Chain A
Amino acid sequence: MEEPETYTGALERALHISGSEIGGECRVASERARRIRRFLPWAVLLPAALSGCGLIDAPQSMLNPAGPVAQDQLGLIDSSIWVMTLVFVVVAGALLVILLRFRWRGQTELPPQWEGSTRLELLWTIVPFILLALLAVGTVRDSFVLAAPEGKNVLKVNVVGHQYWWSFSYPGTNIVTANELHIPVGQKVELVLTSADVIHAFWIPRLGGKTALVPGRTNIMWIEADQPGTYKGQCAEFCGTGHADMRLLVVAEPPAKFAQWEQQMEHPVVQPTSALAQQGEKYFASEQCSSCHTIGGTSFVGVVGPNLTNLAQRQMIAGNLLPNDAQDLAAWLKDPQAVKPGSLMPNLHLSPDKIKALVAFLQSLKTPAPSGSV
């Protein structure tokens, strides 16, 4: 993406394109281009982007769909880009011709004083109308297709937005988890969205567009992943100080592996083995952690903060802001606001020893896979 060869090559190519486009008069343009090159090397990089550099392989790129919803939406985006490029080329071409051919060169005679032409004006009323009508077909069709998942084999997940984390629960089971949504590959997943506080929006660009989570209201969207993988996203409706740090992970797994995850979540086992971890479990209660957090398989049933069942099996912590390792867990417990401004998790001013024990306990929160499973 930032390879110097590509960059320089693109720079050179772009220089020629943009030089002749923006200047009009070639002599002037090349003069300006020299100035641009000297002062503003970045200015000419723009067209290089058309090569796709960095656009498609970005982890949250909507140009790299991984499921039918995002695929449909990209189809519409693609077709509109072609239409729009066509219109732009026509307008820019006309401006170029005007610059080259219709300049005032000291004439005293007036140019022909045209006042209008019904035929021409009809032309540029009707042609755009037709172009838009073409786009309208796909727009209306996709609006209905994407409104709700069809068929019976649909997995339902309830999603609740919180400042600044996500809660997921799977109806018909006792599975409740946070921030990391697990779905099976190849199955439609209906997300039933609402919010506990302000408006948020659920957005995994590679799986589909966003839908808002509005307090007091239930919205529906659906996604489906074609291939296993971890898909990133983040809250897409401004929700407060921690908005930028309210991130999302969707883990799509083959059905068998997903079933195993479900099994582990349904029957979590909490077995802190080390003495340190056992100490941490006690701190979890005594230091008020348990008044906000639930951990499946224990007696901790707080409901204010994220559910921590099988926390050690998750990839990230703190609303998917930090990797789930001992160091970051410790930093997070020490001063949540320093790590994630605006976080509503209180700073409990825990001593380093207690933090160490709590980290050991939290890292022990994983349910062993049943033998013989994938």
Chain B
Amino acid sequence: MATHSERVWHGGGQVVVTGDEEPRGLWSWLTTVDHKRIGQMYMGAGLFFFLLAGIEAFLMRLQLAQPDAHVVSAALFNQLFTMHGVTMVFLAGMPLLIGFINLVVPIQIGARDVAFPRLNALSLWLFIGGGLMLYTSWFFGGAPDAGWFNYVPISAGEFSPGPGVDFYDIGLQISGIGTLMTGINFLTTIINLRAPGMSWLRLPMFVWATFVTSLLIVFAFPPLTVNLFLQTFDRLFGAHFFTVSAGGSPLLWANLFWVFGHPEVYILIMPAFGIISEVVPVMSRRPLFGYTTMVLSVMAIGFLSFMVWVHHMFDLGYGPWVNSIFALSSMLIAVPTGVKIFNWLTTMWGGQVRMNTAMHWVFGFLITFVVGGMSGVMLALAPADLQFNNSYFVVAHFHYVLIGGTLFAIFAGMYYWFPKYTGRFLNERLGKWQFWLVFIGFNVTFFPMHFLGLMGMPRRIYTYAPHLGLTLWNSISTDGVYILTAGMIIGAINVLWSYGHGELAAADPWDGRTLEWAIPSPPPAYNFEYIPLVRGLDAFWVEKRYGNGRMLPAPEEHHGPPGTIHMPSPTAMPLFLALSIIVAGYGLILHSLVLDIIGFGFVAVGIYRSMFTVDHGYFVRPHHIEGVRADG
């Protein structure tokens, strides 16, 4: 396979591969630079880590179902909640969203791939590598156990001597660098690769959400990178950034972390907003209400997300002035968020809403996200937050936002886009079962956590006293987990079954509005046989309503000669580079000079090869140039 492809594709850009069959086999996936395959691998790996984090959550709820229980030990419990948080945020939530971004954004802007396809593959492998590396910590003396925000000094060498926190620092560093590259890649893609006519105010909302998310990534991840470096130096080389006795500052970690951490939670919700903004208009058969306002509110939320980080630290003693200012800025975020919710409602109000499974998830999203948003405003009230902070009320809040918000939107997106990328529908009957079980199970699990917080239960405790009155709600919460789990299993069955046996989907099954519905399901590797000309917001809808139902081709200077499509070559270099970086990371954690030299040496070679290997790509000549189908 490899030799064959080299001979054909690296011939100075002259050889034409006739035919549009896609290469198969494991190697073709490991070396792919196709944004759709990369997106699917993001989704697959994200779901895998989601499963791991779910198991961790399950164990924690078993432990907390009764007071003074001994399902897991205190030490293991601390590892479980740390890994659960880290996994859900970095290895499940973001990858699932980045998966959608990869799958959808290039097509929605009328492009054949992202700006830097090889970098995109590198991002993927760094994420997967960093994530797996983090999980190998269980085999090297225990996982990180200082919480997902890993405050110092509890995470300092003095109090966490094992390698767990080193895995946190270096595993997250590696996967974080991958994320940063994704941000750079998609900003460049959206700025540069829009099809002719796709002006800024014709971008689909999901693309806008991706744009702002990428900006947040580019500006929020560097402080995390620095923070992780500082701690790595403290722990591995004896530096004193956080050593209190030497004059170091624990609050430096807290501030740098939340300067990253708050935008991070918006990185987790912004693409979810984008998904909802795609599904709602299509399923209501009308344009998104107040498109321009929606764009402005996404930007406002992104901007404000950098102004609110102290609200995670109201109890750290910054005084009434600082607390008041950050309380006000935090409350302000509710305004643009509220605008979005009411605009979604108005889009449906007076429309013709199809209550299929995707739309069930949208309704679930709106209900639970509003609850999470409301408790978020309550947390922003600094004096009240002194009570809420670090209690189960906070746990309830962010699960309402991250499950009820992000995850429900991810499921909405899955039911909405699955037919596009696999050519088959997810089963609607199973889907509705999944929805109701998850929706009910979720609320039974997490709503009582509000009460537990009000009743004075702090988060991150492995057990609680029987006389505190916390038993009833804790046991109810654990009962909810069984329902939730049942729903998730049905969802998993649905995905696995439908992948091979689902009902066949046409190109445009929902009467869609954006460009991905103008190409076949599943899309060919090159997405578009010709670059489309965009003549309005909701490009495809406009052509269906006012044109002849097909996208017009853009003038020829915007793409190659008709019928011949230039594609980037597959390459193993991203995988090689990622592996080298992982080896170097292990070298640091295990204090192995040999691994360091091998790892960093290969990194240097890899970087040189990546920078100075000219990829001439290859050409595809589709068998059937049949134009873009409007109705599948």
Given contacts A54-B473, A143-B323, contact A42 B293 (CB under 8 A): no
- Cβ contacts B445-463/A at 8 Å (1 or 0 each): 0011001001111111111
Among B50-58, B110-118, B345-353, B613-621, the stretch that binds chain A is: B345-353
Chain B residues contacting A212 (CB-CB under 8 Å) are 315-317
- Quote the shortest CB–CB distance from A304 to chain B (angstroms): 15
Query: Which residues of A from 39 to 95 have beta carbons under 8 Å from B?
Result: 39-40, 42-43, 45-46, 49, 54-55, 57-63, 70, 72-74, 76-77, 80-81, 83-84, 87-88, 91-92, 94-95
Query: Which residues of A from 109 to 133 have beta carbons under 8 Å from B?
Result: 110-117, 120-121, 124-125, 128-129, 132
Given contacts A57-B469, A114-B350, A235-B458, contact A217 B251 (CB under 8 A): yes
| B177 is an interface residue with CB less than 8 A from chain A | no
- Per DSSP, are chain B's interface residues mostly helix, strand or loop, or mixed? helix
Given contacts A84-B377, A92-B367, A341-B74, contact A236 B345 (CB under 8 A): no
**Number of residues on chain A facing chain B (CB within 8 A):** 109
Query: Which residues of B from 280 to 312 have beta carbons under 8 Å from A?
Result: 284-287, 289-293
- Quote the shortest CB–CB distance from A341 to chain B (angstroms): 4
**Number of residues on chain B facing chain A (CB within 8 A):** 103
Contact assessment for A132 and B455 in the assembled complex, using a CB-CB cutoff below 8 Å: no
Given contacts A40-B444, A205-B456, contact A116 B292 (CB under 8 A): yes
Contact assessment for A136 and B458 in the assembled complex, using a CB-CB cutoff below 8 Å: no
| B275 is an interface residue with CB less than 8 A from chain A | no
Query: Which residues of B from 340 to 381 have beta carbons under 8 Å from A?
Result: 341-343, 345-346, 348-355, 363, 366-367, 370-371, 374-375, 377-378, 380-381
Contact assessment for B483 and A136 in the assembled complex, using a CB-CB cutoff below 8 Å: no
Question: Which of A45, A120, A209 counts the most B-chain CB atoms under 10 A from its CB?
Answer: A209
Question: Which of A36, A140, A201 counts the most B-chain CB atoms under 10 A from its CB?
Answer: A140
Chain A residues contacting B78 (CB-CB under 8 Å) are 238, 240-241, 243
Contact assessment for A132 and B383 in the assembled complex, using a CB-CB cutoff below 8 Å: no
Complex Cα–Cα for A2 and B293 (A): 49
Contact assessment for B316 and A136 in the assembled complex, using a CB-CB cutoff below 8 Å: no
Chain A residues contacting B151 (CB-CB under 8 Å) are 198-199, 237-238
Complex Cα–Cα for A73 and B73 (A): 35
Contact assessment for A72 and B250 in the assembled complex, using a CB-CB cutoff below 8 Å: no
- Quote the shortest CB–CB distance from B418 to chain A (angstroms): 21
A237 — nearest CB in chain B belongs to which residue? B390
B545 — nearest CB in chain A belongs to which residue? A110
Chain A residues contacting B612 (CB-CB under 8 Å) are none
- Which of B286, B385, B462 is close to A209, meaning CB atoms less than 8 Å apart? B385
| A1 is an interface residue with CB less than 8 A from chain B | yes
Contact assessment for B317 and A214 in the assembled complex, using a CB-CB cutoff below 8 Å: yes
- Cβ contacts B71-113/A at 8 Å (1 or 0 each): 0011100100000000000000000000000000000000000
Contact assessment for A232 and B320 in the assembled complex, using a CB-CB cutoff below 8 Å: no
Complex Cα–Cα for A72 and B348 (A): 41
Contact assessment for B349 and A234 in the assembled complex, using a CB-CB cutoff below 8 Å: no
- Cβ contacts B299-338/A at 8 Å (1 or 0 each): 0000000000000000111011001100110011011001
- Quote the shortest CB–CB distance from B430 to chain A (angstroms): 15
- Per DSSP, are chain A's interface residues mostly helix, strand or loop, or mixed? mixed
| B479 is an interface residue with CB less than 8 A from chain A | yes
| B339 is an interface residue with CB less than 8 A from chain A | yes
Contact assessment for A128 and B350 in the assembled complex, using a CB-CB cutoff below 8 Å: no
B376 — nearest CB in chain A belongs to which residue? A84
- Which of A111, A203, A211 is close to B352, meaning CB atoms less than 8 Å apart? A111
Contact assessment for B454 and A112 in the assembled complex, using a CB-CB cutoff below 8 Å: no
Among A96-104, A167-175, A272-280, the stretch that binds chain B is: A96-104
Contact assessment for A49 and B154 in the assembled complex, using a CB-CB cutoff below 8 Å: no
| B607 is an interface residue with CB less than 8 A from chain A | no
| B382 is an interface residue with CB less than 8 A from chain A | yes
A7 — nearest CB in chain B belongs to which residue? B472
A92 — nearest CB in chain B belongs to which residue? B367
Contact assessment for A102 and B349 in the assembled complex, using a CB-CB cutoff below 8 Å: yes
| B29 is an interface residue with CB less than 8 A from chain A | no
- Quote the shortest CB–CB distance from A316 to chain B (angstroms): 11
Complex Cα–Cα for A97 and B72 (A): 47
Complex Cα–Cα for A236 and B293 (A): 41
Complex Cα–Cα for A58 and B469 (A): 5
Given contacts A132-B331, A217-B317, A244-B464, contact A77 B479 (CB under 8 A): no
- Which of A40, A95, A104 is close to B285, meaning CB atoms less than 8 Å apart? A104
Complex Cα–Cα for A71 and B372 (A): 25
Chain B residues contacting A36 (CB-CB under 8 Å) are 440
Query: Which residues of B from 407 to 454 have beta carbons under 8 Å from A?
Result: 436, 439-441, 443-444, 447-448, 451, 454
Query: Which residues of B from 183 to 204 have beta carbons under 8 Å from A?
Result: none
Contact assessment for A80 and B378 in the assembled complex, using a CB-CB cutoff below 8 Å: yes
Question: Which of A94, A193, A232 counts the most B-chain CB atoms under 10 A from its CB?
Answer: A94
- Quote the shortest CB–CB distance from B535 to chain A (angstroms): 16
- Quote the shortest CB–CB distance from B135 to chain A (angstroms): 21
Contact assessment for B352 and A124 in the assembled complex, using a CB-CB cutoff below 8 Å: no
- Which of A74, A105, A232, A242 is close to B74, meaning CB atoms less than 8 Å apart? A242
| B147 is an interface residue with CB less than 8 A from chain A | yes
Chain A residues contacting B458 (CB-CB under 8 Å) are 203, 234-236
Contact assessment for B468 and A59 in the assembled complex, using a CB-CB cutoff below 8 Å: yes
Given contacts A94-B345, A209-B315, contact A59 B467 (CB under 8 A): yes
Chain A residues contacting B284 (CB-CB under 8 Å) are 102, 111
Chain A residues contacting B367 (CB-CB under 8 Å) are 91-92, 95
- Quote the shortest CB–CB distance from B201 to chain A (angstroms): 12
Chain B residues contacting A257 (CB-CB under 8 Å) are none
| B39 is an interface residue with CB less than 8 A from chain A | no
- Which of B147, B319, B328, B456 is close to A62, meaning CB atoms less than 8 Å apart? B456
Contact assessment for B250 and A216 in the assembled complex, using a CB-CB cutoff below 8 Å: yes
Given contacts A215-B250, A219-B317, contact A120 B346 (CB under 8 A): yes
Question: Which of B73, B387, B479 counts the most A-chain CB atoms under 10 A from its CB?
Answer: B387
B336 — nearest CB in chain A belongs to which residue? A125
Contact assessment for B468 and A58 in the assembled complex, using a CB-CB cutoff below 8 Å: yes
| B225 is an interface residue with CB less than 8 A from chain A | no
Chain A residues contacting B181 (CB-CB under 8 Å) are none
Contact assessment for A135 and B455 in the assembled complex, using a CB-CB cutoff below 8 Å: no
| A–B complex contacts, Cβ < 8 Å, 8 sampled | A63-B455, A136-B328, A140-B328, A143-B324, A145-B383, A205-B456, A234-B461, A238-B147
Chain B interfacial positions (CB closer than 8 Å to A): 73-75, 78, 146-147, 151, 153-154, 159, 244, 247, 249-251, 284-287, 289-293, 315-317, 319-320, 323-324, 327-328, 331-332, 334-335, 338-339, 341-343, 345-346, 348-355, 363, 366-367, 370-371, 374-375, 377-378, 380-387, 389-391, 436, 439-441, 443-444, 447-448, 451, 454-465, 467-470, 472-473, 476, 479-480, 483
